[in-house]
Amino acid sequence: MPRLNRLTSDTAVGASRDLLADLEARHGRPGDMVATMANSPAVLGGYLQLSRAMGRAKLDRAISERISIAVQAHQGCGLCLDAHTAAARARGVDDEEIERARRGTSADPAIAAIIALALRIHREPTSITDEQVGALREYGYSDRAIADVVGVVALNVLTGSFNLLAGLTPGSDPDA
């Protein structure tokens, strides 16, 4: 059962109303997370800006989705985990690799290394070593792609934490 109200451009006020109206005009009805984030214009605006910025990330989207799966499996947001699993499948990631991502790894050593970095960023960023970053460079990751991992993790922490606080779970949409 959701803990926070879902808003629309008719029920939201101020900046949230404007953001939702713009989203509704461009994309139709926003999903539960976005509509619920509208309770805080700062959170909704920040999420939208970070989400757009990460759309320009250098990191390959299939890898980014595996990172998201690993982070969400650790964080425990079922709604995000379902969404990222579907997105990974749409990017051609097979079920075995999706299961590996849930466990925080990959059959591909280069992908396993960048997932490991993402989980360290999420769990214990002070434990990141020069050797770990150097190994990523040896696998061919640019500094930009390595830096993008922080954005992917941050976006997942924001969305997963928000959904868990708000009580949004798979199937919790009252209009579904």
Q: Is the same domain home to 88 and 152?
A: yes
Spans of the chain, pLDDT less than 70: 172-176
2 within some domain: no
Q: In 3-state terms, what secondary structure has residue 61?
A: helix
Question: Can you give the residue range of the structural domain that contains 105?
Answer: 61-166
Q: Is the same domain home to 97 and 129?
A: yes
Structural domains in the chain (count)? 2
Q: Is the same domain home to 126 and 143?
A: yes
Q: Is the same domain home to 39 and 108?
A: no
Q: Is the same domain home to 38 and 91?
A: no
Q: Is the same domain home to 21 and 80?
A: no
- pTM score: 0.93
175 within some domain: no
pLDDT of 171 reads: 79
Report the distance separating Cα 7 and Cα 32, nearest Å: 9
91 within some domain: yes
Residues 6+ apart with CB under 8 A from 119: 70, 71, 74, 104
pLDDT of 173 reads: 56
41 within some domain: yes
Q: Is the same domain home to 151 and 65?
A: yes
43 within some domain: yes
111 within some domain: yes
Q: Is the same domain home to 94 and 48?
A: no
pLDDT of 115 reads: 98
pLDDT of 158 reads: 98
Where residue 134 sits, what CATH number does that domain have?
A: 1.20.1290.10
Q: Is the same domain home to 85 and 20?
A: no
Report the distance separating Cα 17 and Cα 100, nearest Å: 41
Distance (Å) of CA 35 to CA 11, 25, 50, 128, 139: 10, 14, 17, 36, 40
Q: Is the same domain home to 32 and 69?
A: no
pLDDT of 175 reads: 45
Q: Is the same domain home to 75 and 39?
A: no
